[in-house]
Structure formats: C-alpha cells, structure tokens
Structure 1
Amino acid sequence: MTAVEQAHALRDVVGAHAAESEQLRTLAPAVVDAMWSSGLMSAFNPSAAGGSEPTFAEMIETWIEMAWQDGSFGWVGIANFPSSFAAASYLPDSGFAEVFTANDNRVTMGGQFFPNGQGVAVDGGYRLTGAWSFGSGTGHAEYVAAGFFPMVDGEMRWAGEGIPDMQVAVVPRDQVSFKDGWHVQGLRGTGSYDYAIDDVFVPHDRTFALFTREPKRGSSPAGRMGMMPVTAAGHAAWALGVAKSMLDDVAELAATKFRMSDMASLASRPTFQKDLAHHVAAWRAARLLVLDAFTGAEGAVAAGAELTPTMRADMRVAAVFATDTARGCAEWAHLAAGTTSIREGSRLERAFRDIYTGTQHAFISEKVAIDAAQVWLGVVEDQFGL
C-alpha cells in the first residue's frame, strides 16, 4: 500500500481513540501501534531505514488524510515522520547503524530542531546541554532530536559568513528529562512536551547539520532538498487536512441543521451555499498552490538542478498561504455550524481548537512570508532559514 492508503486504513482506530489521546495528552498507544503495524510510521524514511521514499505529492496527501482524521494524529505525522526521515538520511553510517539498523528500523523520533542547546566540543563529540519547548511526538519516541550550537573553546562555530553552525543531536530517550507542561487549548494529543538535556555526551556520529542537503542514503529528491521543505510541506498539509475535515463536517451537518426560529435547513440557505462554494474553492486553490510549489522544486532537483533561494521561498510562501487559507475556512465552518461546533468532544469542536493552536507555529508565521518576499524582490540574495 502507498502511505496515503496506509493512513486511510487507520480512520477507525484514530477516530475511536481521539478522545483518549486528548486525555492522555499524547497519542493513544493503540494508534501508535497501528501506525507501526500498517507501515505508516516508517513510510517516509529512505529505503535503508524501511521507508518507501514517497514523492512530495504523496507526502502532502498522506498528511492531509491524517490531519482530516484528527488534528493531533496529523501533527504527530508532521513531527515524527520528518524527524526520522532526517536522521535516517543524514546521520553518518555508524550513527545510522546504532540508531536504525540495531533497532531493525523500528525507531520513532520527535523533538525540536531549533538550536536551543549548546554542545561543547570534546574528543569524539559534544557535551550537550539545553532546554527545548514543544517537542512534538516525544510522548512515544525512543529517540529525541535536539538542535544545538557547537561551541569550541567557549566560542560559537560558524558555517559561513554571518551564519552560525547549527547541528541536530539524536539522543536516546533515557538521557532526556521531560517536563509535564503540555496543558494546552488544542493539539492536546500530540505529546509536545518540553524537555531538557544536561551535560550529555553525544558522539559526532549521532549528529548532523540542520541545513544539510547532502543525504548519506536515500535516492528521492527530498533528501537533496533538506529538512526545511519537508517540514514546510508538513505544516501546509496539516492545516489543509484539519480545514477539510471542518468543511466536510459542516456540509454533512447542513442537511439536518436548523437554526432556532428558522424553518429552513442550513443547506437550503443561499448564503450558506455561496459561502460553502467560496471556502471549498479557496481550499482547493491553496492545495494546488502547495502541490505546484513543492512538486515543481522536486522536479527541478530530480533533473539535477540546484535548489535555488527562489524555489525555497516559493515553497515557504505556499505553506504560509495554505495555513492562512485553512484558518479562514475553519473559522467560517465553525460559525456556520452554530452551537454544534461548541459541543465538547465533537470533531468540529476539536478541529477548531487544533487549527488555532497549530497555526501559531513560528514556521508558518508572517516573518517567513516577509523573508521570502525579500528574496523575490532582490533585497537579499538568500535567507538561509527558508
């Protein structure tokens, strides 16, 4: 089965355990087990780590399907899958053997890639210390990713002019201290715990550069495009999936929904019909923009071209636009559904909380759009964080 088919096959188990995941504040064990038994958990990995190396279109459609089922399930998909994809693609051979091969590729990974830690360079590796927030998917992860700045003789190391070296460490769970701080409005079932690491030795072979585009394994263009495009595609697809669940649910509700003192069903009201058409069309346009930006860059890289700053800007803007569009669709669906959308435990109520939590993420903020526009305008030649 394709990754999309694997995800679709989990609809019943995800729906049955959505409330449990929220109560546990991390994905229910039955859902995690189903992700492994279906093959979905490792599907995005390079083939050497048990994956099928899907195209960007396949990744995007898989994430849309997952987020349509449940926001927390989809969010775990955009946390765990890129984390293991990156580690499996970019770790040196001995680190890959230690983390993946020694565990028969049954490795779940989550965490925060932003460099909130410092790694003091020592013989053979780093002494890593730091504190990270929003470690999505770490509730059930055997390994935790942690971004850090390498420090040599008390000084930051530089990757280029004005660009600090930023690395990612892969750390076993038992060397990480988790904080019980995940009490939030939405995405409650994602296990996005804060965590800390205190003076833990991490060998060089369990680290890789955050912005590398030089995979050690895997043949798909995604590996040569790096973590940023894969992460951006995930955020865009997640927002689209949650919004689609709300549009679908309010359309289904409309046939039987009657407002107080109104004899006409919601579906028969011209204003609802017009607004539904507008928001469904906006959703479809946003999805097509995302597919165009990511598959266009993917095709160029597959043909041997360099991934240009403009391509990277195009993908990030598409992700921001899709997120903004999805949020607008969700807000309309929530209002159109009336009191149905405020009842605790319904898909509409949960999805509304989820989308207004997930769209707060810095990765799809207005600063990203500004950075991308500066590249388009020629104000700067590149923004390394895109």
Structure 2
Amino acid sequence: MTAVEKAHSLRDVVRDHAAESEQLRTLAPAVVDAMWGSGLMAAFNPREAGGCEPSFSEMIETWIEMAWQDGSFGWVGIANFPSAFAAATYLPADGFAEVFTANDHRVTMGGQFFPNGQGVAVDGGYRLTGAWSFGSGTGHAEYVAAGFMPMVDGEIRWVAEGIPDMQIAIVPRSEVSFKDGWHVQGLRGTGSYDYAIDDVFVPHGRTFALFTREPERGSSAAGRMGMMPVTAAGHAAWALGVAKSMLDDVAELAETKFRMSDMAALASRPTFQKDLAHHVAAWRAARLLVLDAFGTAEAAVDAGADLTPTQRADMRVAAVFATDTARACAEWAHLAAGTTSIREGSRLERAFRDIYTGTQHAFISEKVAMDAAQVWLGIVEDHFGL
C-alpha cells in the first residue's frame, strides 16, 4: 500500500478513539498501535529505516487524509514523521545504528527543533541543557528531538557571518523531563508537552545540523532539500486537511439542516450554494499551489540541481497561503453550520478548535511571507531560515 492508502485504512480506529485522544491529551494507544501495524509510522523514512521514501505529492496527500480524519491525528503525522525522517536521513552511521538499527527501525520520535538549548562542547559530543515548549508528538515518542546551539569555550559557534551553528540532538525519553502543560483549546490529542534536559551527554553520533541538505542515507529528493521544505509541506497539508473535513461535513449537513424560520434545507439556499462553491474552489486552488511549488522544487533537485533561495521562498509562501485559505474556509463552514458546529465533541466543533490552534504556529506566520517576498524582490539574496 502507498502511504495515502495506509492512512486511509485507519479511518475507523481514528474516529473511534478521537474523543479518547482528547481526554488523554495525547494520541490514544490504539491509534499509535494502528499506525505501526499499518506501516504508516515509518513510511516517510528512508528505505534503510523501514520507509518507502514517498514523493512530496504523496506526503502532502497523506497528511491531508490524516488531518481530514482528525486534527490531532494529522498534527502527530506532521510531528512524528518529519522528526523520524530527519534523524534517519541525517544522523551519522553510529547514531543511526544506535537509534534505528538497534530498535529494528521501530522508532517514534517527536520534539522541538528550535534551538532553545545550549550544548557545551566536550570530548565526543555535548553536555546539553535547555527547555523546549510544544514538543508535538512526544506523548508516545521513544526519542525526543531537541534543537540547540553548540557552545565552545563559553561562546556560540558560528557557521557563517551572522548565522549561528544550530544542531539537533536526539535524546532517549528516559533522559528527558516532561512538564504537564498541554491544556489547550485545540489539538488536545497531540501530546505536545513542554520538556527540559539538564546537563545530559549527547554524543556527536546523535546530532545533526538543522539546515543540512546532505543526507547520509535515502535516495529521495526530500533528503537533499532539508527539513524546512518537509516541515512546510506538513503545515500546509495539515491545514488543508482540517479545512476539507469541515467543508465536506457542512456540505453533508446542508442536505438536512434547517435554520430557524427557514422552510427549506440549507442546501437549497442560493447564498449557501454560492459560498460553498467559492470556498471549495479556494481550497482546491490552494492545494494545487502547494503541489506545484513543492513538486517544481522536487523535480529540479531530482534532476541534480541545487535548491535555490527562490524555490525555498516559493514553498514557504505556498504553505502560508494554504494555511490562510484553509482558515477562511473553516471559518465559513463553522458559521454556515450554525449551532451544529458548537456542539462539543462533533467533528465540526473539534476541527474548528484545531485549526485555530494549529494556525498559530510561527512556521506559517506573516513573518515567513515577508522574508520570502524579500527574496523575490531582491532585497536580500537569501534568508537562511526559509
């Protein structure tokens, strides 16, 4: 089965355990087991780590399907899958053997890649200390990713003028302290816990550079494009999936929904028909933009070209645009559904909470669009964070 088919096969178990995941504030064990049983959990990994190396198109469609089923399920997909993909792709051979090979490639990984930690350089590695927020997917992860800046003789290490060295450490769960701070409006079932690491030794073999595009293994273009495009594709696809669930649900509801004082079902109202057409068309346009931006860059890299700053800007803007469009579609669907959309526990109510939580993420903020536009305008040659 393809990754999309594997995700689709989990619809029943995700639906049946959605409320449980929210109550647990992390993905229900039955759903995690089903992800491993179907092969979905490792699907995005390089083949050497049990994956099938899907194209960007297939990754995007898989995430859309997952987020359509449930926002928390989809969010775990854009947390666990890229984390494991990156570690399996970029870890040196000894770290890969320790983390993946020794565990028969059954490794669930989550965490926060932003460099909130400091790693004091010592023989063989770093002494890592730091605190991270919103460690998505860590509720059921055996390993935790933690971004940090290496410190040498008390000073930050730099890789270029104005650009600090930013590394990712892969740390066993047993060496991480978790904080019970995940009490939120939406995405309640994602186990996005705050966590801290206090003076833990991390060998070089379990670290890699945040912005590397030099894979140690895997043959897909994604490995040569780096973590930023994979993460951006995930955010775009997630927002599109949640919005599609609301558009589909309100269209189905409209056949039997009678608003107070109306003599006909919602589906027969011309204003509803016009607005549905507009928002479905907007959703489809956003999806096509995402597929085009990521597919174009992927094809160029597949043909042997280097990823350009413009291509990176194109992908990041596509993700921001898709997120903004999805949020607008979700808002309309919520209003059109009337009181049905405020009933606690319904798909519409949960999806609305989820999308207004997930779209707060800094990775798809207006700052990203401005940075990308500066590249397009030639104001700067590049933004290293894109």
TM above 0.5, one fold? yes
In structure 2, the residue matched to 1:78 is 78
Alpha-carbon deviations, 1:46-80, whole Å to 9, x = none? 00000000000000000000000000000000000
Alpha-carbon shift at residue 275 of structure 1 (Å): 0.1
Amino acid at match of 1:152: V
Q: Distance in 2 between matches of 1:98 and 1:129?
A: 22
Q: Distance in 1 between matches of 2:133 and 2:54?
A: 29
In structure 1, the residue matched to 2:195 is 195
Amino acid at match of 2:324: D
In structure 2, the residue matched to 1:173 is 173
Alpha-carbon deviations, 1:260-302, whole Å to 9, x = none? 1111110000000000000000000000000000000000000
In structure 2, the residue matched to 1:278 is 278
TM (normalized to structure 2)?
Answer: 1.00
Secondary structure of residue in 2 paired with 1:41: coil
Alpha-carbon deviations, 1:157-177, whole Å to 9, x = none? 001111000000000000000
In structure 2, the residue matched to 1:290 is 290
Structure 1: give runs of 5+ residues left out of the alignment: none
Q: Distance in 1 between matches of 2:89 and 2:259?
A: 54
Q: Identity of aligned pairs, percent?
A: 90
Secondary structure of residue in 1 paired with 2:146: strand
In structure 2, the residue matched to 1:204 is 204
Q: Distance in 2 between matches of 1:112 and 1:192?
A: 9
Equivalent positions of 1:243-322 (< 5 A) are 243-322=243-322
Equivalent positions of 1:29-108 (< 5 A) are 29-108=29-108
Q: Distance in 2 between matches of 1:270 and 1:159?
A: 59
Moved over 2 A (4+): none
Is residue 2:345 matched to residue 1:351?
Answer: no
Secondary structure of residue in 2 paired with 1:42: coil
Secondary structure of residue in 2 paired with 1:341: helix
Amino acid at match of 2:303: A
In structure 2, the residue matched to 1:377 is 377
Amino acid at match of 2:124: G
Q: Distance in 2 between matches of 1:160 and 1:32?
A: 41
TM (normalized to structure 1)?
Answer: 1.00
Structure 2: give runs of 5+ residues left out of the alignment: none
In structure 2, the residue matched to 1:339 is 339
Secondary structure of residue in 1 paired with 2:149: strand
Q: Distance in 1 between matches of 2:161 and 2:371?
A: 18
Alpha-carbon deviations, 1:333-378, whole Å to 9, x = none? 0000000000000000000000000000000000000000000000
Q: Distance in 1 between matches of 2:334 and 2:91?
A: 44
Amino acid at match of 1:217: R
In structure 2, the residue matched to 1:136 is 136
Amino acid at match of 2:300: A
Q: Distance in 1 between matches of 2:296 and 2:134?
A: 31
In structure 1, the residue matched to 2:368 is 368
Amino acid at match of 1:190: T
Amino acid at match of 1:366: E
Is residue 2:153 matched to residue 1:153?
Answer: yes
Amino acid at match of 2:274: K
In structure 1, the residue matched to 2:242 is 242
Q: Distance in 2 between matches of 1:296 and 1:159?
A: 29
Equivalent positions of 1:13-24 (< 5 A) are 13-24=13-24
Secondary structure of residue in 2 paired with 1:40: coil
Q: Distance in 1 between matches of 2:87 and 2:61?
A: 23
CA RMSD of aligned residues (A): 0.2
Alignment: residue pair count: 386
Amino acid at match of 2:196: A
Amino acid at match of 2:57: A
Q: Distance in 2 between matches of 1:263 and 1:18?
A: 35
Alpha-carbon shift at residue 88 of structure 1 (Å): 0.1
Q: Distance in 2 between matches of 1:208 and 1:26?
A: 28
Q: Distance in 2 between matches of 1:72 and 1:41?
A: 15
In structure 1, the residue matched to 2:219 is 219
Q: Distance in 1 between matches of 2:381 and 2:12?
A: 48
Amino acid at match of 2:268: S
Secondary structure of residue in 1 paired with 2:41: helix
Q: Distance in 2 between matches of 1:300 and 1:161?
A: 28
Alpha-carbon shift at residue 152 of structure 1 (Å): 0.1
Alpha-carbon deviations, 1:189-236, whole Å to 9, x = none? 000000000000000000000000000000000000000000000000
Amino acid at match of 1:142: E
